[in-house]
């Protein structure tokens, strides 16, 4: 009877021979086809953020009918439903990104001069010198409360000790978030737009702490833990220990941060999977052991499920304590799915769990897909799951009958393989965002990760449990010893020759190809997964295909760089930004910069400077550029294709001009000297007209910026 009413097998379009050839392949890949819906969701979000202008709101409403169509087709023809589901998921990602952007509060316009600021303290960060507070609903002078938060760095000698929940009044100079340091660089304004930050600045006087409402639970707890840790472990060990417990890295000295980064250990400071596994694992085993000591509970309760649920609750509290950063949110979501799988008797860590965690994070925080934190976190876990799925059947078993030598060898291999898989997966993203390659990261991790997992984190959790009784010192001291050992490893490895290499970053298109190749390689099961390898190699080599600019001009004109002979020559005026210079070095893959000579030649005569100008002549067939340093623009405008200047260039000029007015209106500029002519790209032209990009500034008293162009 059942066979009479059975649904007939779906008939594939095309010739039967083609269907027969594809059927074995589809049968092997069918369990993972749905994972590509999350990839399509991410692609839709990337398309939205890549647009030069905001799309019309009507485009957002394409997603609902496509989703309904995909569901309707999926019930009747699963493969057709999946085929329709891919564009539907992309449309959903596009729409969610647009809806999230529109839901953000308007940008903050802080006063141009110093003013008295009053707001509620929602976070306090310890710095190597002083403190930084985050204020919610700030008021400037007698104005109304603003909808965005601001950050203020208090004076180093300020005796005020604000805590979350207090109200704070201070005279400060506040500035809106700055833009990228060069076209295509990290967009601080976009990050601030989605994080709710409206501006930041420095206090110009002492802060006054006023009584406020009750402190947010986790913000107050975070501040209390950091204070307790600093009291027992002063200096860098205490700052690193507090970062592992609360997620705040602002108090770590710059030298120690650089050592952790150059040794490949910076991921230990970003609370994520390693930390939540330590917290939940320790909580699971301790609670299970305690319950087993009570016969009445041990005989009546299923100890393993009870301990798993309690450990998940502990992990959720730890996530909220550390601020719910993207890696931590991903780790907690996977831990929650793992707990459900454990209760149901299913496998805990799978690609489905990772895909679901990625979908949740993207739907909640679409802009996270553009950040290094999201990209590196999910890439590492994707490579670990797929890599161990491939390795596990090929490794000898380490069952109860295995010798201790075999277990030790397999444990060592597992540690090295994990470091290699995670390091290889995150390398393209590190090259794109930071332009640095950590050569000895596997060796550093082989020592530091076990120290962190077996000593530092367990001691930190014990310290947190002992804090209500004032006994945290007995656990913090061993934690400090472990942290000091990790820092010693970081400094030793970072000091080795060539530990961190500055390399040209791979461009966005190369990173996209590399990421898609990695996803292709990890999601498929059959041999056609190997088609992702050429994409990965092309992405890794794309930095050599992407020609960096020949000149860079900062947004305030105080920094101007000329690239010649593989070196970067810099004009630095008073008040220039060290952050901009460091970002330029990283984006160009240059270890150091050289000051432009006052008079003389550089780069084999490619750069020739006099007291009033520097001329960049890259060779026959290429246009010339002139950097004015006081010389009248007449001769430069007649002999060069492009003229750059830190001061306004007034009057008619036959060459393209990038001066103080140009960067004031359109942000930093990048200039390429090419055989076909000069290519000039401003930050405004690169980012387009998006909500987080400020409008063209205008002088005081003018209705628009247009009259200024006429003055030029």
Q: What is the pLDDT of residues 211-256, one digit of tens each?
A: 887 767 777 788 888 889 999 999 899 999 998 888 888 889 989 9
**Would you state the torsion angle of the CA atoms of residues 102, 104, 109, 114, taken in this order, to the nearest 10 degrees?**
-170
The answer to whether residue 468 sits within a structural domain is yes
pTM greater than 0.95 (yes/no): no
User: pLDDT tens digits for 125-137?
Assistant: 888 888 999 999 9
pLDDT band, residue 615 (cuts 50/70/90) = very high
Residue 18 pLDDT > 80: no
Residues 573 and 451 in one domain: no
User: pLDDT tens digits for 627-667?
Assistant: 999 888 888 898 899 999 999 998 888 899 999 999 999 99
The answer to whether residue 108 sits within a structural domain is no
Which of 169, 189, 215 is a domain's end point? 215
SS3 640: coil
The answer to whether residue 19 sits within a structural domain is no
Residue 415 pLDDT > 80: no
**Residue 399: its pLDDT value, please?**
61
Residue 389 pLDDT > 90: no
Residues 297 and 405 in one domain: yes
Does residue 414 or residue 144 have the better pLDDT? 144
Residue 57 pLDDT > 80: yes
Residues 540 and 566 in one domain: no
**What is the average per-residue pLDDT within 577-591?**
86
User: pLDDT tens digits for 460-497?
Assistant: 888 988 898 889 999 999 999 999 999 999 999 999 98
The answer to whether residue 425 sits within a structural domain is yes
Which of 470, 502, 534 is a domain's end point? 502
Q: Do 572 and 559 contact (CB within 8 A), yes or no?
A: yes
Residues 363 and 493 in one domain: yes
The answer to whether residue 211 sits within a structural domain is yes
Residues 450 and 309 in one domain: yes
**Residue 31: its pLDDT value, please?**
77
Residues 467 and 531 in one domain: no
Q: Do 184 and 686 contact (CB within 8 A), yes or no?
A: yes
pLDDT band, residue 704 (cuts 50/70/90) = very low
Q: What are phi and psi of 188, to 5 degrees?
A: -65, -35
**Residue 23: its pLDDT value, please?**
63
Closest among 598, 609, 552, 602 to 577, alpha carbons compared: 552
Residues 210 and 309 in one domain: no
Which residues face 500 on adjacent strands? 438
**Residue 75: its pLDDT value, please?**
79
Closest among 418, 658, 525, 704 to 27, alpha carbons compared: 525
Q: For residues 619 and 624, what is the distance between their CA atoms, to the nearest angstrom?
A: 8
User: pLDDT tens digits for 524-571?
Assistant: 988 888 999 999 999 999 888 888 999 999 999 999 999 988 889 999
The answer to whether residue 276 sits within a structural domain is yes
The answer to whether residue 373 sits within a structural domain is yes
Does residue 187 or residue 605 have the better pLDDT? 187
Q: For residues 383 and 422, what is the distance between their CA atoms, to the nearest angstrom?
A: 6
**Residue 4: its pLDDT value, please?**
43
Which of 183, 215, 247 is a domain's end point? 215
**What is the average per-residue pLDDT within 335-341?**
79
**Residue 419: its pLDDT value, please?**
81
Closest among 420, 399, 321 to 123, alpha carbons compared: 321
Residues 265 and 363 in one domain: yes
User: pLDDT tens digits for 438-455?
Assistant: 888 888 888 888 888 889
Does residue 412 or residue 710 have the better pLDDT? 412
**Residue 711: its pLDDT value, please?**
33
Which residues face 643 on adjacent strands? 626, 657
Lowest mean pLDDT among 4-8, 447-451, 454-458, 672-676: 4-8
Residue 87 pLDDT > 90: yes
pLDDT band, residue 25 (cuts 50/70/90) = low
User: Following DSSP, what letter does each residue of 324-335 receive, concatenated?
Assistant: --HHHHHHHHHH
Lookup: tokens for 586: 């990283």
Domain with 204 in it: 115-215
The answer to whether residue 17 sits within a structural domain is no
Handedness of CA 413, 416, 418, 420 (dihedral sign): negative
Residues 122 and 84 in one domain: no
**What is the average per-residue pLDDT within 699-704?**
56
Residues 491 and 566 in one domain: no
Residues 255 and 119 in one domain: no
Residues 524 and 556 in one domain: no
Give the number of domains in the chain.
5
**What are the DSSP E strand ranges found in 372-485?**
436-438
């Amino acid at each position: 009877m059942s066979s009479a009413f059975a649904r007939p097998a779906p008939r594939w379009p095309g010739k039967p021979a083609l269907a027969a050839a594809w059927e074995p392949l589809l049968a092997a890949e069918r369990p993972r086809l749905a994972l590509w819906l999350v990839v399509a969701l991410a692609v839709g979000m990337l398309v939205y953020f890549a647009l030069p202008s905001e799309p019309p709101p009507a485009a957002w409403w394409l997603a609902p009918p496509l989703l309904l169509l995909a569901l309707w087709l999926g019930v009747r023809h699963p493969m057709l439903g999946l085929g329709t589901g891919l564009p539907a998921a992309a449309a959903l990602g596009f729409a969610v990104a647009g809806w999230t952007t529109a839901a953000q509060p308007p940008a903050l316009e802080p006063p141009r001069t110093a003013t008295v600021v009053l707001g509620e303290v929602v976070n306090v960060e310890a710095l190597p010198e002083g403190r930084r507070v985050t204020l919610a609903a700030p008021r400037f002078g007698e104005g109304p409360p603003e909808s965005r938060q601001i950050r203020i760095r208090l004076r180093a000698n300020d005796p005020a000790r604000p805590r979350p929940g207090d109200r704070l009044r201070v005279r400060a100079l506040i500035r809106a978030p700055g833009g990228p340091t060069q076209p295509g660089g990290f967009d601080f304004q976009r990050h601030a737009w989605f994080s709710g930050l409206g501006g930041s600045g420095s206090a110009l006087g002492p802060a006054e702490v006023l009584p406020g409402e009750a402190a947010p639970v986790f913000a107050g707890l975070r501040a209390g833990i950091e204070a307790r840790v600093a009291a027992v472990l002063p200096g860098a060990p205490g700052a690193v220990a507090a970062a592992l417990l609360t997620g705040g890295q602002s108090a770590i000295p710059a030298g120690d941060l650089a050592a952790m980064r150059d040794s490949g250990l910076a991921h230990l400071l970003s609370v994520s999977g390693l930390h939540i596994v330590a917290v939940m694992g320790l909580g699971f085993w301790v609670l299970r052991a305690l319950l087993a000591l009570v016969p009445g509970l041990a005989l009546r309760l299923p100890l393993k499920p009870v301990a798993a649920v309690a450990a998940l609750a502990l992990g959720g509290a730890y996530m909220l304590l550390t601020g719910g950063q993207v890696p931590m949110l991903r780790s907690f979501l996977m831990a929650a799915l793992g707990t459900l799988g454990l209760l149901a008797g299913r496998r805990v860590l799978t690609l489905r769990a990772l895909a679901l965690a990625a979908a949740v994070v993207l739907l909640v925080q679409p802009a996270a897909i553009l950040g290094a934190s999201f990209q590196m976190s999910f890439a590492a876990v994707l490579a670990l799951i797929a890599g161990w799925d491939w390795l596990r059947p090929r490794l000898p078993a380490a069952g109860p009958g295995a010798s201790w030598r075999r277990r030790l060898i397999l444990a060592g291999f597992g540690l090295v393989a994990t470091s290699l898989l995670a390091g290889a997966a995150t390398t393209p993203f590190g090259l794109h965002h930071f332009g640095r390659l950590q050569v000895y990261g596997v060796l550093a991790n082989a020592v530091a990760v076990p120290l962190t997992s077996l000593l530092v984190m367990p001691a930190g959790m014990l310290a947190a449990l002992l804090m209500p009784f004032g006994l945290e010192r007995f656990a913090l001291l061993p934690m400090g010893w472990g942290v000091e050992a990790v820092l010693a490893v970081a400094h030793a490895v970072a000091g080795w020759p060539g530990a961190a290499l500055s390399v040209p970053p791979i461009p966005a298109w190369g990173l996209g190809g590399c990421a898609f190749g990695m996803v292709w390689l990890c999601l498929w099961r059959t041999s056609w997964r190997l088609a992702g390898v050429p994409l990965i190699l092309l992405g890794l080599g794309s930095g050599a295909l992407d020609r960096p600019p020949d000149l860079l001009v900062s947004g305030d004109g105080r920094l101007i760089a000329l690239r010649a002979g593989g070196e970067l020559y810099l004009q630095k005026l008073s008040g220039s930004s060290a952050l901009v210079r460091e970002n330029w070095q990283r984006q160009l893959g240059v270890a150091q910069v050289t000051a432009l000579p006052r008079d003389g030649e550089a780069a084999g005569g490619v750069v020739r400077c006099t007291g009033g100008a520097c001329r960049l002549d890259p060779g026959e067939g290429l246009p010339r550029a002139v950097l004015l340093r006081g010389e009248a623009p007449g001769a430069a405008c007649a002999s060069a294709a492009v003229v750059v200047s830190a001061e306004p260039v007034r009057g008619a000029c036959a060459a393209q001009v990038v001066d103080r007015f140009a960067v004031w209106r359109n942000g930093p500029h990048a200039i390429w000297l090419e055989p076909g002519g000069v290519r000039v790209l401003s930050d405004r032209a690169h980012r387009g007209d998006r909500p987080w990009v400020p409008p063209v500034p205008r002088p005081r008293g003018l209705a628009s910026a247009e009259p200024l162009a006429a003055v030029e």
